[in-house]
Chains A and B, each alone.
Chain A
Amino acid sequence: MQDKKQEPILSARGIGLQRGGRWLFRDLDLDLYAGEFLAIVGPSGVGKTTLLSCLCGMLEPSEGSVSFKLSGTSDSKPVELRRHFGIVYQDLQLIPNADLLTNVLCGRLGRFNSLNTLLGFPKKLRQEAYRLLYELGVGENPHKWAKHMSGGEKQRVAAARVLFQKPKIYFADEPVSSLDAYYAGRVLGLLRQEADEKAKPVLCVLHNAEHIQRFADIALSLNQNDPKAHKMRRVRPLNVEAQV
């Protein structure tokens, strides 16, 4: 998919993070190009979420730096580019006392000023958000509050919200951990589609080997015993069409 002559969209150089006197990872270099799907893998507690947080600018790494080259923006620091990042948090961070539709619509709050959204979102956008909910199997009751949905349903709403946001780069922390095989495939398939058709990079913490094999281009595995022993492995060769 990517052309090596192009500049990487995300570049991490020698990043490392120390927590409680222990290094979770060190000397990590990463270049992610347009349309690449990176899976971050490793056992529980190894620092996958922390690495993702460092890459998307929510955490400052103890050493090294992360920079971005996003089209249409002149900034390169993650903190300044946050509005262009689509993030699926592990704890989802949905608005529990708002309906599913509003939760999805909030993905695009950054595109409007507060006066436009004071009395709600335009009808056209509502229909678009509903279509995503419907596609992910949570369109049956779009006016139900998020707090009354099951864990799997909430996870699909979070996926719908990030897809609706249309960000320039995706960061997803275990976005399918509570989903059955069918919906896990659907969510990851839609993210893969974003990478393939819109050349957007996707960084995703994944556990399931089959998902990694099926959807990822590169797998970055962290090592619990040695913070420097992380491995980057290409899962699928370059320019191979995704089997979604």
Chain B
Amino acid sequence: MSPTPTPEHEKVPPLAELPWYRRLNLLNTTLLIFVLAVIFSGSQIEGNERDLDILKNLGRFLSDFFPPDLSVLKSTGSALIETVEIAILATFFAIIISLIIALGAAQTIGPTWLVFSMRMLLNIIRTIPSLIWAVIAVAAMGANALAGVAALTLYSTGYLGKFFSEAFESVDMKVARSLRGIGADPLQSFQYGIWPHAKPLIWSHCIWMLEYNIRSASIIGYVGAGGLGLQLHAYQEFHQWDRFATVLCCILIVVTVLDFLSERIRRRIARRDGSNDALSD
């Protein structure tokens, strides 16, 4: 069947195009500012203006890495275990502290003054990089794994506190309110009305943080906070790049495995919310 033609008296008017300034929405404006910023930052890629053969330098440096010296595998293994232990403990302590802070930082739960102060606190914690936290912790506790745990706990709290409070805020409060309505006390309405909704999201963030902390724990040893970083630092100091390569390979393997596992677990939690049937299939 052919379409009915538009009658003559109902002629389609010409399409009115948008003027250029109407296209300047937030996305396009920020994109434009970014492009301009790239152009004005161009001077930074000039380096020190020495005529260096970058590729040759890089090749010479990397050739020192091969073949990796596997004789340090055993000590690397134990440092790796220490790194993972630092990350696990730091994540655990950060989860506990963050849960408490996030309850106050969630707009749907805490009073305004508490939300404001908790968010300020989390912002301040997040502003400081993990390496600086490690320097502070080493200064206070000495160069050991405990300093690593303390540094990463503080660093992770900044992130987990924010993520958890956002997870609590994403919960529809209607159920919690209706439970309060039938006489549930605040803890019960949290346990049954808010926590089940927020739990999958919170656990997903915890797994991500654990993965992130294992990466970070490998680095903070550079300033003396235990783990693989300590070894990396020593090998770098003595220019033992073949040993350095072995440690790097170990970090690479662990991080890749973790990344793969955590991605899969988190995706599955997000998809099925970790329901009972998800565990059985």
* Pairing of A with B: yes
Chain B hits for A85, CB < 8 A: 181-182
Contact across chains for B273 and A117 when beta carbons are under 8 A apart: no
Chain A hits for B89, CB < 8 A: none
Q: Name the one of B175, B183, B192, B200 contacting A83, with C-beta atoms under 8 angstroms.
A: B183
Q: Name the one of B174, B187, B193 contacting A114, with C-beta atoms under 8 angstroms.
A: B187
Chain A hits for B117, CB < 8 A: none
Total chain A interface residues with beta-carbon distance under 8 A: 33
Chain B hits for A208, CB < 8 A: none
A167 to B182, CA, bound (A): 9
Contact across chains for B196 and A143 when beta carbons are under 8 A apart: no
Question: Closest CB of chain B to A2's CB: distance in Å?
Answer: 26
Question: Closest CB of chain A to B172's CB: distance in Å?
Answer: 9
Chain A hits for B191, CB < 8 A: 114, 117-118
Within 8 A of B (CB), among A96-135: 96-99, 102, 106-107, 109-114, 117-118
Closest to B274 in A: A97
Q: In the complex, which of the residues B188, B200, B277 has the most CB atoms of chain A within 10 Å of its own CB atom?
A: B188
Contact across chains for A95 and B188 when beta carbons are under 8 A apart: no
Q: Is the interface of A mostly helix, strand, loop or mixed?
A: mixed
Contact across chains for A113 and B185 when beta carbons are under 8 A apart: yes
Check: B178 CB closer than 8 A to any chain A CB.
Answer: yes
Contact across chains for A94 and B175 when beta carbons are under 8 A apart: yes
Mask, A86-98, CB within 8 Å of B = 1, is: 1101010111111
Within 8 A of A (CB), among B242-281: 273, 275-277
Q: In the complex, which of the residues B174, B183, B277 has the most CB atoms of chain A within 10 Å of its own CB atom?
A: B183
Question: Closest CB of chain B to A208's CB: distance in Å?
Answer: 26
Known contacts: A106-B179, A107-B182. The answer to whether A148 contacts B188 by CB under 8 A is: no
Q: Name the one of A99, A110, A114, A117 contacting B276, with C-beta atoms under 8 angstroms.
A: A99
Q: Name the one of A87, A95, A114 contacting B196, with C-beta atoms under 8 angstroms.
A: A95
Closest to B181 in A: A82
Chain A hits for B187, CB < 8 A: 114, 118
A144 to B273, CA, bound (A): 12
Check: A165 CB closer than 8 A to any chain B CB.
Answer: yes
Q: In the complex, which of the residues B182, B183, B185 has the most CB atoms of chain A within 10 Å of its own CB atom?
A: B182
Chain B hits for A113, CB < 8 A: 185
Known contacts: A93-B175, A97-B197. The answer to whether A87 contacts B277 by CB under 8 A is: no
Q: Name the one of B175, B181, B185, B275 contacting A95, with C-beta atoms under 8 angstroms.
A: B175
Contact across chains for A83 and B182 when beta carbons are under 8 A apart: yes
Closest to B182 in A: A110
Total chain B interface residues with beta-carbon distance under 8 A: 23
Q: Name the one of B181, B192, B197, B273 contacting A102, with C-beta atoms under 8 angstroms.
A: B192
Contact across chains for B196 and A97 when beta carbons are under 8 A apart: yes
Check: A145 CB closer than 8 A to any chain B CB.
Answer: yes
Check: B233 CB closer than 8 A to any chain A CB.
Answer: no
Contact across chains for A148 and B181 when beta carbons are under 8 A apart: no
Contact across chains for B182 and A148 when beta carbons are under 8 A apart: no
Check: A13 CB closer than 8 A to any chain B CB.
Answer: no
Known contacts: A99-B276, A145-B275. The answer to whether A87 contacts B181 by CB under 8 A is: yes
Check: B199 CB closer than 8 A to any chain A CB.
Answer: yes
Q: In the complex, which of the residues B181, B273, B276 has the most CB atoms of chain A within 10 Å of its own CB atom?
A: B181
Chain A hits for B277, CB < 8 A: 144, 148
Within 8 A of B (CB), among A137-154: 143-145, 147-148
Contact across chains for A98 and B276 when beta carbons are under 8 A apart: no
Contact across chains for B196 and A106 when beta carbons are under 8 A apart: no
Closest to B186 in A: A114
Known contacts: A89-B178, A109-B182, A110-B184. The answer to whether A95 contacts B276 by CB under 8 A is: no
Contact across chains for A144 and B276 when beta carbons are under 8 A apart: yes
Chain B hits for A102, CB < 8 A: 192
Mask, B27-52, CB within 8 Å of A = 1, is: 00000000000000000000000000
Contact across chains for B199 and A93 when beta carbons are under 8 A apart: no
A85 to B191, CA, bound (A): 21
Question: Closest CB of chain A to B271's CB: distance in Å?
Answer: 12
Q: Name the one of A86, A93, A107, A145 contacting B174, with C-beta atoms under 8 angstroms.
A: A93
Interface residues of A (CB under 8 A from B): 58, 82-83, 85-87, 89, 91, 93-99, 102, 106-107, 109-114, 117-118, 143-145, 147-148, 165, 167
Q: Return 18 A-B CB contacts under 8 Å, by A number.
A: A82-B181, A83-B182, A83-B183, A95-B192, A95-B196, A99-B276, A106-B184, A107-B182, A109-B182, A109-B183, A109-B184, A109-B189, A110-B182, A113-B185, A114-B185, A117-B188, A117-B192, A118-B191
Closest 5 CB pairs of A and B: A110-B183, A83-B183, A114-B187, A109-B184, A97-B196
User: Given A82-B183, A114-B185, A144-B275, 9 other A-B contacts at CB below 8 A?
Assistant: A82-B182, A83-B181, A87-B182, A95-B193, A106-B179, A106-B192, A109-B179, A109-B183, A143-B276
